[in-house]
Structures are given as C-alpha cells and as structure tokens.
Structure 1
C-alpha cells in the first residue's frame, strides 16, 4: 500500500488516474479506516487530500458557499454564515457520528461513501447542492444526487475526486 499527501488537486488526480489497483481518498477517514480495519477494502493507494490548498476551507462567494472536500463537519457546524443560510445541512452534518467523529468526518466523504444511511446526503439534495469534480479531463460541476449510484458505488470515474461542495446563496 502506498500513502501520498499531494499539495495540488492536479497531483491527486494524476496519482488516482495512474493507480493500478484500488485507490482511496482520505480526508477525514472516519469510514475509510473502519472499512480497512474490517477487511472490506484494501487500497493499493491512499491519497490524503488534507494538505491541498482550499480543500479545508469554507469560502463565502457572491453565489453562496464553497465547502472544501476536507472540511470537517465540526468546522462546518462552527461557521455562522453557513449555519444561518443552511441550518438543515449543518444539522444533518451534526448527525454523522459522535462529537469526536465530527472533528474528522466530512460531508464530501459522507456523500462519496454512497451509503443508503448517509446522514448529510438528503439535506444536501434538498438544498440543491452541487459537487465540483476534478479529473483527468478537467473540472465539472454536478448535482450531488448524481454522485451515489448504489450502495457503495458512485458515478465518479477513475482519477476523479470531489474537491468542493457548493451551496447556493439563499434568497433574502
């Protein structure tokens, strides 16, 4: 098993695209580590995205919010602007695991695990959230409901990674 900590999304995408065996993305790791310990997955490559600039940030834009893929749910819950605009999304993120788990887990990881029991996904869908996907062919923005395709399966192609979740600005 190889473990890497790329500094750019392009490097992460490149490593994921050329991985020979199964690859996993590590942001919070709350589900990944449990699945590895239980023997459910054995990735050839683990790509830790926490050091990639912008992925651990919440940015308020003219259009709404950009929530980096490595933003822990606890940090999301502490953001007053997101809490005010999207209380249902924050409440759903707060349902993921214990307080300790919330310090590590991410809504992007919750989405990408594609579990039918994912706590944050219904709120993201109801909010009309979008995912910014980076891959070998560039970037694209998709509706979050198109990411999970079945239990444990996503629509992401080899080498693709979600770099952020977008929430539109709420009407005043």
Structure 2
C-alpha cells in the first residue's frame, strides 16, 4: 500500500498503520482484511480504517451485507461474521478537500510490538474550523473503540489546542482498558488523552495541506 503514491496521498492514516504492522516480510503478505477479521483490540489497522470511514463487505449463504468497520469487531478475537460468511472487500470513501488523517501508537519498542494504546483520527477542515472528526482507539477496550462523542463535541469548533484538549479528555473518559504486563489502566487512559491530541494535530496539519 505505501508503495502506491496515490493511495499514500489520499489515505494517510492507512499508510501510518501499514508501515507499523510487523516487519517487511509480514507487510508483504498481510492484509487489512486479515487484521480486521483477527479482531484484536490492539490491531493497528482497525482504528485507522475507522478514521477513514471504512465499510466491510461480506458475502455468505444469506447474500451480501455491509458493516461499518467500527461495528465489525464484537470482542477479543470475535467479529460479526456468521457461519459460512467471508469478508470479501473493504471500501473507503474518497477523501474530500480539507481532509487529513493519522494513526499513531505507543509501544515499549520501536518495531514489531503490540500497542499499549493507539489512536486513529481524521478531520475535515472548513475555514480553520473542524467540520467533522472521527477518533478510534486501540488496545483500551474489548474491541477497537470508536469514540463518536469526540466528533459530536468538536464539530464546528476551531482547530486549536483548546479543542484538542477537549477531544483528549473525552478519549480518556471513554477508554475502558485493563491492567496487564504492558500498562496499567491509569497509564493507558493517560495515553488516550496524549495520543488523541497529538494524532488530531497531525491530521489537522495534513488537512491544511489538502485544502
């Protein structure tokens, strides 16, 4: 994916995720569809796809159906696919003018590790204000977590530090992580705040370049 210049320009959040998943050999064989069907809460591609408003297309004995990616995972390692069904494709809307996106994560090591927390974000800017926004979090809930409340709260507001701070606090409040060997509940919630603010800022900067 990241070898295609047109895709890289149009879907920057997807490229952020694609460059993070595994090493070169894994990236050459893996697919976003496989990452989605694996339904791991820490799956790096899933928040990025949610930020890009992706839709999963499913075929099975009952015919064809469409599921928004934020609704695809139902629990750790579980998804909406029924008996005999298969994910056949994932579609992404064409980005509009003023669109920008990003995915970032925090990990203990630089490569081939599982996120302690991650944030996928996108914005559409209109005259310096946030027309719309989408934020999804990784590794802080039983499934990748789409925080629709952030988009509701910051739509129409200026793309400034105060607005980003509000988004970060909502992300922190929405997260329902566990404590494990990679991090505590408190630490992961703090990361949700920090990563959401930083990721949104990158998305905003990219949106300005795409205006």
Aligning the two structures, in what range does the TM-score lie when normalised by the shorter sequence? 0.5 to 0.7
Matches within 5 A, 1:21-170: 76-170=1-95
Q: Deviations over 1:118-172 (max 9, x none)?
A: 0100000111100111111111111011111010001110111111110101113
Q: Which residue of 2 aligns with 1:36?
A: none
Distance 2:40 2:24 in 1: 20
Counting matched residue pairs gives 97
Q: Deviations over 1:75-121 (max 9, x none)?
A: x2222221111011111122110011100111111111010110100
Q: CA RMSD in A?
A: 0.9
The answer (yes or no) to whether the contact 2:13–2:51 under 8 Å persists in 1 is no
Runs of 4+ in 1 over 2 A off after TM superposition: none
Secondary structure, counterpart of 2:34 in structure 1: helix
Distance 2:66 2:5 in 1: 25
Gaps of 5+ in 2: 98-211
Which has the bigger relative contact order, CA under 8 A and spacing at least 6? 1
Q: Deviations over 1:16-37 (max 9, x none)?
A: xxxxxxxxxxxxxxxxxxxxxx
Greater helix percent: which structure?
2
Distance 1:91 1:151 in 2: 23
Normalised to the residue count of structure 2, the TM-score between the two structures is: 0.45
